[in-house]
Amino acid sequence: MNCDILVIGCGPAGLSAASYAARAGYDVIALDSLAPGGQLLYIDEIENYPGLESKSGYALAESFEKQAVLFGAKIEFAEAKSIEKRDKLFIVKTGDGEIEAKAVILATGARHRHLGVPGEDEYQGRGVSYCATCDGPFFRDRIIAVVGGGDTALTDALYLSKLGKEVHLIHRRDQFRGQKALEDRVRAKENIILHLGKNIKSVNGDGRNVKSLTLSDDTELQADALFVFVGIIPNSELVNGFAELEGGFVKTDEKMCTSVPGLFAAGDVRTTSFRQVVTAAGDGALAAHQADEYIQNL
Ligand SMILES: Cc1cc2nc3c(=O)[nH]c(=O)nc-3n(C[C@H](O)[C@H](O)[C@H](O)COP(=O)(O)OP(=O)(O)OC[C@H]3O[C@@H](n4cnc5c(N)ncnc54)[C@H](O)[C@@H]3O)c2cc1C
């Protein structure tokens, strides 16, 4: 198969890139190993996508996909397994064969590291969350627990302390890994209670919502929500050794250009300070625009 622009990953970044590139008149293939939507498919309700009052993640994923198809992008289901560049063409091998493209937009997203304790998966979206900006506002004046000891855990504990009645910050070590200045602010906050040197053994609920946590010393901590910040893993294996990475994320400049001319990266997989649907969609639009410029100058 041949195309002008191959988009790998059909989350918000990839589908936005596919829409922009197809609308600009390019022959676009958008590839996904699972289903269009990416992490949108795990969002019960999205409240912070500009222009939408509230929608299910599934419904928003459908709108992204319909729009890309309407503009002429072809959506294919296959996993991209390897990528190389021969002369000016990219060759991407998938489970179904090879795709040749003049430019490639990598939008393979990222996944949150889980604790792997009983109840975590069962209550995901019903109290267990991996994103404070996304889900914090659902827990105004409630009891919130946060687990983690790095910058994200500290920053988001501070953010959540403005929303929740109290925030219990649980960290397995006696010392935080995050910046000292953040730690000082956390320690100074009256409604943040620290539980250092403790793990979470289980997330407990009533079958519908989170009600409490069992900690490693067998104490039961009442909580309406648990925010897990124990790391994020970029889906960048495909370009490991092909493009420059930073901490596992694909290094880009502000125009979404990677270290390989003609390869662009957008969304959660790239080096960025804020991972949201709106930022992923913005990245996708910019990557498509840059791919257009790149192809015109080939
Ligand atoms: C539970 C949850 C709730 C969230 N809530 C919100 C919220 O309320 N508001 C908000 O703005 N953000 C929210 N987010 C974050 C938001 O969903 C992500 O920032 C956004 O989806 C990132 O988009 P993306 O396109 O970069 O990647 P993703 O959405 O991760 O999509 C990547 C796609 O690439 C595909 N893929 C990966 N590797 C390959 C490969 N080798 N070949 C082919 N396909 C591949 C995957 O199957 C996936 O479909 C939430 C995330 C989660 C998990």
CATH of the domain at 48: 3.50.50.60
Which of 174, 199, 228 finishes a domain? Answer: 228
Q: What is the pLDDT of residues 76-95, one digit of tens each?
A: 999 999 999 999 999 999 98
Which of 196, 228, 260 finishes a domain? Answer: 228
Ligand 1: which of 48, 123, 134 to mutate, most ligand atoms within 8 Å of CB? 134
User: Do 47 and 36 have their domain in common?
Assistant: yes
User: Do 278 and 252 have their domain in common?
Assistant: yes
User: Is 90 exceeded by the pLDDT of residue 133?
Assistant: no
Residue from 80, 94, 16 nearest 235 by CA: 80
User: Do 54 and 145 have their domain in common?
Assistant: no
pLDDT of residue 1: 87
pLDDT of residue 42: 81
Q: Report the separation in Å between the CA atom of 244 and the middle of ligand 1, taken as the mean of its atom positions.
A: 21
pLDDT of residue 63: 97
pLDDT of residue 278: 97
User: Do 93 and 141 have their domain in common?
Assistant: no
User: Do 88 and 189 have their domain in common?
Assistant: no
Which of 207, 228, 249 finishes a domain? Answer: 228
Question: Considering only CA atoms, which residue is closest to atom 49 of ligand 1?
Answer: 38
Ligand 1 near 40 CB (within 6 A)? yes
**Averaged pLDDT for residues 134-152:** 95
Question: Considering only CA atoms, which residue is closest to atom 51 of ligand 1?
Answer: 39
Concerning whether 131 is annotated as a catalytic residue, the answer is yes
Q: How confident is the model at residue 11 (pLDDT cuts 50, 70, 90)?
A: very high
User: Do 236 and 197 have their domain in common?
Assistant: no
User: Do 157 and 241 have their domain in common?
Assistant: no
Q: Report the separation in Å between the CA atom of 283 and the middle of ligand 1, taken as the mean of its atom positions.
A: 13
pTM of the model as a whole: 0.87
pLDDT of residue 250: 98
134, 257, 283, 292: the catalytic one is 134
What atom of ligand 1 comes closest to residue 268's alpha carbon? 26
Ligand 1 near 52 CB (within 6 A)? no
Concerning whether 121 is annotated as a catalytic residue, the answer is no
User: Is 90 exceeded by the pLDDT of residue 96?
Assistant: no
Concerning whether 3 is annotated as a catalytic residue, the answer is no
pLDDT of residue 81: 98
User: Do 80 and 146 have their domain in common?
Assistant: no
What atom of ligand 1 comes closest to residue 34's alpha carbon? 47
Rounded-to-integer distance, Cα 230 and Cα 288, Å: 32
User: Do 106 and 236 have their domain in common?
Assistant: yes
User: Is 90 exceeded by the pLDDT of residue 151?
Assistant: no
What atom of ligand 1 comes closest to residue 78's alpha carbon? 43
Range of the domain at 154: 114-228
3, 4, 32, 135: the catalytic one is 135
Ligand 1 near 280 CB (within 6 A)? yes
| Count: domains in the chain | 2
User: Do 120 and 95 have their domain in common?
Assistant: no
User: Do 46 and 91 have their domain in common?
Assistant: yes
Q: What is the pLDDT of residues 26-48, one digit of tens each?
A: 999 999 999 999 999 888 788 89
Ligand 1 near 130 CB (within 6 A)? yes
DSSP 146-215: EE--SHHHHHHHHHHHTTSSEEEEEESSSS--S-HHHHHHHHH-TTEEEEET--EEEEEESSSSEEEEEE
Alpha helices, H only, the chain = 12-23, 57-70, 132-135, 151-161, 180-188, 277-296
Residues listed for the chain: 298
What atom of ligand 1 comes closest to residue 15's alpha carbon? 25
User: Do 128 and 162 have their domain in common?
Assistant: yes
Q: How confident is the model at residue 201 (pLDDT cuts 50, 70, 90)?
A: very high
What atom of ligand 1 comes closest to residue 12's alpha carbon? 25
Q: Report the separation in Å between the CA atom of 17 and the middle of ligand 1, taken as the mean of its atom positions.
A: 14
Ligand 1: which of 108, 121, 250, 279 to mutate, most ligand atoms within 8 Å of CB? 108
* Average pLDDT value over all residues in the chain: 96
Spell out the residues 6+ positions from residue 190 whose beta carbon is closer than 8 angstroms to its own.
Answer: none
